[in-house]
């Protein structure tokens, strides 16, 4: 199997490469500089010459707050790029797996969102990602979209690294507790992407949208507390002495976030036979990858 990965130097792309290198597949990675997914000619040239069996699109505009000011840029990468990939993949008979987000929902539910629930993004980032999903569905008969939430990993910038950095600089941190979701490890998402790709090729997983996150539920405050507990167990020197829960209204941001964005993972678990780790266990694994196994 020949697999082309876009956004290969990002958090998810990095972990996917590590996993796929052990699979025996021929993996062709492209970072943003090597392949701009908004460049129609470049996409046509690369896919036409390499003829991949599958394309995994990890490329995205992910600056949620900045997207409020850079709407055109967000839509160019998150809508127009996937549309070009879908059209080209369809023309060459390649599978496409595209990564989307829980931010396509407005957070008004109080039970986990399934794939058929009504979408209603609250911010430009979510709107642009939802538009990308729509474009793929319009242009392809066979595809897989995976919506993931609160993504973090050992590489790249993310909430885990930000909390540890801030905790090394400040004695007190304030973190919102009225936004609830599920942190998702890029390692576990990578395994899910590969499992779904395999099931798509053997015909046991249907085309369409899937949800994935680690198991369990947390607020950003819960997640931050767990991060600092793990950091201390690993012997990191932290200045922070307290972490306080605050309301979203007391931490205003340019983009609105859903208050609740827990994803129902029943569909992908059944399709791929997945046993998904709890988010706290996944965090331990990521912290060990970052800082070594310094405790039992």
- Cβ(151)–Cβ(158) below 8 Å: yes
Quick: pLDDT tens for 116-144: 999 999 999 999 999 999 999 999 988 99
Which residues have a Cβ under 8 Å from the Cβ of 37 and sit 6 or more positions away? 6, 7, 43, 57, 59, 77, 81, 82, 84, 85
Q: What is the mean pLDDT of residues 184-204?
A: 94
Q: pLDDT by residue (tens digit) across 15-57?
A: 999 999 887 889 999 998 999 999 999 999 999 999 999 999 9
- Angstrom CA distances, 121 to 51, 105, 124, 261, 268, stand at 35, 5, 8, 11, 22
Q: Which residues are catalytic?
A: 125
**Which pLDDT value is given to residue 24?**
81
CA 31/CA 5 separation, integer angstroms = 8
* pTM summary value: 0.94
Q: Which residues contact 98 (CB under 8 A, 6 or more apart)?
A: 57, 82, 85, 86, 132, 133, 136, 143, 144, 145, 146
Neighbours of 199 (CB within 10 A): 17
Boundaries of every domain in the chain? 2-157+183-215+261-277
Residue at token pair 């979701």: 181
CA 133 to centroid of chain Cα atoms: 14
Contacts of 153 (CB under 8 A, 6+ apart): 11, 12, 14, 15, 185, 186, 187, 286
The owner of tokens 């979209």 is 145
Closest CA to 77 of 6, 11, 183: 6
CATH code of the domain made up of 2-157+183-215+261-277: 3.40.50.720
Cβ pair 146, 196 in contact under 8 A: yes
Task: Give the pLDDT confidence score for residue 293 in this predicted structure.
Answer: 64
Report residue 168: phi and psi, to 5°. Answer: -85, -15
Both structure tokens of 272: 């791929």
296 confidence band (pLDDT: 50, 70, 90): very low
- Rounded Cα distance between 184 and 186, Å, is 6
Does the pLDDT of residue 104 top 80, yes or no?
A: yes
Query: Residue 295 above 50 pLDDT?
Result: no
Mean pLDDT, the chain, whole residue set: 95
Return the higher-pLDDT residue of 108 and 1: 108
């Amino acid at each position: 199997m020949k697999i082309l990965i876009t956004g290969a130097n990002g958090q998810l792309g990095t972990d996917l490469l590590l996993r796929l290198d052990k699979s025996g597949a021929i993996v062709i990675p492209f970072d943003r500089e090597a392949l701009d997914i908004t460049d129609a000619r470049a996409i046509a040239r690369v896919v036409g010459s390499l003829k991949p069996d599958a394309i995994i699109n990890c490329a995205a505009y992910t600056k949620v707050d900045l997207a409020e000011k850079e709407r055109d840029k967000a839509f160019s990468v998150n809508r127009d790029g996937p549309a070009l990939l879908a059209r080209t993949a369809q023309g060459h008979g390649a599978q496409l797996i595209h990564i989307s987000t829980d931010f396509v929902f407005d957070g008004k539910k109080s039970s986990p969102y399934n794939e058929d629930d009504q979408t209603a993004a609250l911010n430009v980032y979510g709107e642009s990602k939802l538009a990308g999903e729509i474009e793929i569905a319009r242009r392809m008969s066979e595809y897989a979209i995976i919506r993931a939430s609160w993504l973090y990993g050992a590489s790249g910038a993310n909430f885990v690294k930000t909390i540890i950095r801030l905790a090394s600089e400040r004695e007190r941190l304030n973190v919102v507790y009225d936004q609830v979701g599920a942190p998702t490890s890029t390692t576990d998402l990578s395994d899910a992407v590969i499992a779904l790709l395999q099931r798509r090729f053997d015909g046991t997983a249907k085309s369409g949208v899937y949800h994935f996150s680690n198991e369990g539920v947390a607020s950003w405050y819960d997640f931050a507390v767990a991060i600092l507990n793990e950091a201390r167990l690993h012997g990191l020197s932290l200045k922070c002495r307290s972490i306080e829960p605050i309301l979203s209204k007391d931490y205003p941001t340019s983009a609105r976030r859903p208050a609740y964005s827990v994803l129902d993972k029943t569909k992908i678990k059944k399709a791929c036979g997945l046993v998904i780790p709890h988010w706290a266990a996944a965090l331990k694994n990521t912290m060990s990858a970052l800082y070594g196994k310094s405790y039992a």
